[in-house]
Amino acid sequence: MKKLRRKVYMVAGYNTISMGTGRKEFNPKKPRPGLEHYIKEAGQATLKKIGGAQNVDDCVIGNFMASRFNKQANLGAFFPMIDEGLRYKPGIAVEGACASGGLALMAGIKSILAETADVVLAVGFEVQNTVKAIYGADILAGAGWFMERKSGHAYFFPGKFSDRAGAYFEKYGRERTRKAMARWYRNAVENARLCPTAQEYNNTVKDLEAQGMMEPTPNSFVDHLNVFDCSKVSDGASAIAIVSEEGLKKIGIPSNETVEIMGFTHIQDDITKQPPEITALKTTNLAVKYALEIAGISINELATVETHDCFTIAGVMATEAIGFAKPGEGPDFILAGNTARDGKIPFNTTGGLIGWGHPTGATGVHQAVTVWEQLTGNAGAAQIQIPKDRSYALSVNMGGDDKTLVSIVYHRG
């Protein structure tokens, strides 16, 4: 693994509200903001923190399916809409399914490392509440192989992770795994209640674990997951600045208000093939392993993790893929309270995809913003304690069924 040849920092993160079912403001029968609103809000907020558009050298936007959800492509050309000062500056769009936000971060990091930019504005967004859920499921199925989708479940990705859950139940036991999935849901919503931009911020259910234990309804959904096991349909955007040491001087922000990127990995698996083991996230495992090797740390030095819990079973399996639990022991690790905000290694401290929301193209950037907030002490009511001897954080952004993976290791500036 190659060490980074230049210091890279992230600073000035911002999240819009993750809008959709669960937010008090959301009404599917009333007009809602379009993609322009979310891109502009997130982009302008970050620009304000770094001294304006004149300080930006490069721009990148992550998005998965605006061409279908919103009938809009050529997304890089929206940067001048954010601010006139970005007119005639380079701006590109990147796509890697639900890892599109992570790929936006990758593009910005590589521009800094290549010394072609000192300040990069990275934005991720998705506006998905433009179609009914079943049609949205078909659009999101574009993250899977088309030939498989033709014969797959109508709710394609819930079906894929339902199959993973069913195989996991059979191999390791259903009851404690279901309890761990319900605990994951409870932790996600409890964390989201502390974050004003989270989609589940207004959730007032008293017994979340009982709700999470609701039996699946195969006749109307999928065999092994209920609706609370799934991330919601979300509209939203996130933005952050990726900068060099020279860039920090230019924007006038001290390093202690930043997070430093210590290691990162972007890897792919073959979309046309089934996973080598359906009860394990092999690509996630490798992505995390490589990122930690580049950073030169172990998981025991992490203070917090942002993982891609598109479904509760993905959260359970992630604890094993990252290395906190052995195969089949992820449920025990979760049920022991280790992943809660006051546990051994807090996961998804603002709710993750289940609790904060999953505007697909924004998710990877949202993870980085959450890490930046936590490590710099700017997470508000959602703030956790960052131990002095464990001041690193990890994010894992997944595209498709463990096919496109972006993993990043961060450290307090």
Residue 396 domain-assigned?
A: yes
- Categorize the per-residue pLDDT at 413 as very low, low, confident or very high, splitting at 50, 70 and 90: confident
* Confidence (pLDDT) at 153: 85
Do 398 and 347 lie in one domain? The reply is yes
Q: Mean pLDDT over residues 150-176, rounded? A: 94
Residue 3 domain-assigned?
A: no
β-partners of residue 261 are 410
- Categorize the per-residue pLDDT at 361 as very low, low, confident or very high, splitting at 50, 70 and 90: very high
Residue 116 domain-assigned?
A: yes
Domain boundary among 242, 257, 272: 257
Do 160 and 123 lie in one domain? The reply is no
Output the six-digit token pair for 138.
Answer: 């078909």
* Confidence (pLDDT) at 89: 98
Q: Mean pLDDT over residues 287-291, rounded? A: 98
Closest CA to 158 of 222, 218, 99: 222
8 A C-beta contact, residue 99 and residue 404: yes
Do 242 and 163 lie in one domain? The reply is no
Residue 137 domain-assigned?
A: no
Q: Give the count of domains, the chain.
A: 2
* Confidence (pLDDT) at 151: 80
Residue 1 domain-assigned?
A: no
Do 151 and 32 lie in one domain? The reply is no
- Categorize the per-residue pLDDT at 154 as very low, low, confident or very high, splitting at 50, 70 and 90: confident
Do 74 and 155 lie in one domain? The reply is no
Q: Mean pLDDT over residues 267-285, rounded? A: 97
Do 149 and 292 lie in one domain? The reply is yes
Residue 265 domain-assigned?
A: yes
Do 161 and 286 lie in one domain? The reply is yes
**Can you list the alpha helix ranges (DSSP code H) found in 130-231?**
133-140, 146-149, 156-172, 174-192, 208-212
Output DSSP code: residue 255: G
d(CA 19, CA 127): 9
* Confidence (pLDDT) at 2: 66
d(CA 254, CA 179): 45
**What are the residues whose beta carbons fall under 8 Å from the beta carbon of 32, sequence distance 6 or more?**
19, 26, 129, 235
- Categorize the per-residue pLDDT at 1 as very low, low, confident or very high, splitting at 50, 70 and 90: low
d(CA 240, CA 227): 31
Do 23 and 93 lie in one domain? The reply is yes
- Categorize the per-residue pLDDT at 150 as very low, low, confident or very high, splitting at 50, 70 and 90: confident
User: Which secondary structure element, helix H or strand E, spans residue 227, and what is its range?
Assistant: none
For 303, the domain range is 144-231+261-412
**What are the residues whose beta carbons fall under 8 Å from the beta carbon of 256, sequence distance 6 or more?**
376, 412, 413
- Residues listed for the chain: 413
Indicate whether 3 pLDDT > 80: no
Do 299 and 352 lie in one domain? The reply is yes
* Confidence (pLDDT) at 278: 97
Output the six-digit token pair for 171.
Answer: 């191999």
Query: Across the chain, what does the average pLDDT equal?
Result: 97
Residue 4 domain-assigned?
A: no
* Confidence (pLDDT) at 5: 83
Domain boundary among 221, 241, 257: 257
Output DSSP code: residue 28: T
Do 96 and 19 lie in one domain? The reply is yes
Output the six-digit token pair for 181.
Answer: 């999935």
* 303-355: pLDDT as tens digits: 999 999 999 999 999 999 999 999 999 999 999 999 999 999 999 999 999 99
Domain boundary among 241, 257, 273: 257
Long-range contacts of 113-118 (CB under 8 A, 24+ apart): 113/4, 113/5, 113/6, 113/8, 115/6, 115/244, 116/57, 116/58, 117/57, 117/58, 117/244, 117/247, 118/57, 118/243, 118/244, 118/246, 118/247, 118/250
Do 110 and 163 lie in one domain? The reply is no
* 8-59: pLDDT as tens digits: 999 999 999 999 999 999 999 999 999 999 999 999 999 999 999 999 999 9
- CATH (domain of 84): 3.40.47.10
* 64-118: pLDDT as tens digits: 999 999 999 999 999 999 999 999 999 999 999 999 999 999 999 999 999 999 9
Residue 2 domain-assigned?
A: no
Do 281 and 344 lie in one domain? The reply is yes
